[in-house]
Amino acid sequence: MKRFQMITEADARMLEYGSTVMLVAGGHVTPLALDTLRARRIAVVREGVDVDAESLAPPADVRVVAIGADHTGVALKAAIRQHLRGRGLAVHDLGTDGPESVDYPDIAAAVARQVARREADAGVVIDGAGLGSAIAANKIAGIRAAMCLNQTLARYAREHNGANVLALGATLVTAADALTIVDTFLAAAIREPRYLRRLAKIRELEGAARRH
């Protein structure tokens, strides 16, 4: 992890998109650099203090949700979409909408990319078991997708692990249970510095994987 006494805008533009850097105790980030760091989704870990929560933590106030499902999850997707819109949230439905077979990695990646680009505050991906979509979504840099079967897992996924995409198995949960899981996931937020520090380490692993 690169260490800085001061981060200027020129420094910020040279850093790898989505990377994590260390600011030594007493270090300084210039105002223009802050804007560039946020735009490039670069996390700043302050030595002996905490983590730049804004760049790491999913938005606590979810207003826009991207959702997608393969052919096994069309009905469940429709139920979730209607439920969320009924709550006043904007929902980007990325398909599919019919019984014809589609490949879950394509749908999961489309949802994950919207979340990674911050076009959506959170994502929901659905297939038969939810596992494949979670794996596919997690291949997109900046995505932390979790397959959740109950409210407890949904809350932990957000509060402890900063998950920004929820994966559901259409064959494993009822529509009623899925709505409760989704509501729990979207309502939870990661706040504790110790969890944010761990997210910084996850992001560093992502950077290492891209370099090798």
DSSP symbol at 51: B
> How far apart are the two ends of the chain, measured CA to CA in Å?
15
- Structural domains of the chain in order of their starting residue, each with its CATH number: 2-57+192-211 (no CATH), 64-187 (3.40.1400.10)
The three-state DSSP-derived secondary structure of 178-190 is HHHHHHHHHHCCC
| Residues labelled catalytic | 160
pLDDT band at 204 (very low <50, low <70, confident <90, very high): confident
Count the helix, strand and coil residues of the chain and give each as a percent rounded to the nearest 5: 45, 20, 35
Contact 135, 146 (CB under 8 A): no
Stated pTM of the model: 0.79
What is the three-class DSSP state of 141?
coil
Q: What is the CA radius of gyration of the chain?
A: 18
What is the three-class DSSP state of 94?
coil
Residue 116's H or E segment, with its range, is helix 104-116
Lowest mean pLDDT among 23-27, 103-107, 141-145: 23-27
Residue 100's H or E segment, with its range, is none
Q: What is the C-alpha to C-alpha distance for residues 83 and 32, in angstroms, rounded to an integer?
A: 41
What is the rounded average pLDDT for all residues in the chain?
Answer: 91
Average confidence (pLDDT) over 38-64: 76
Q: What is the pLDDT of residue 201?
A: 84
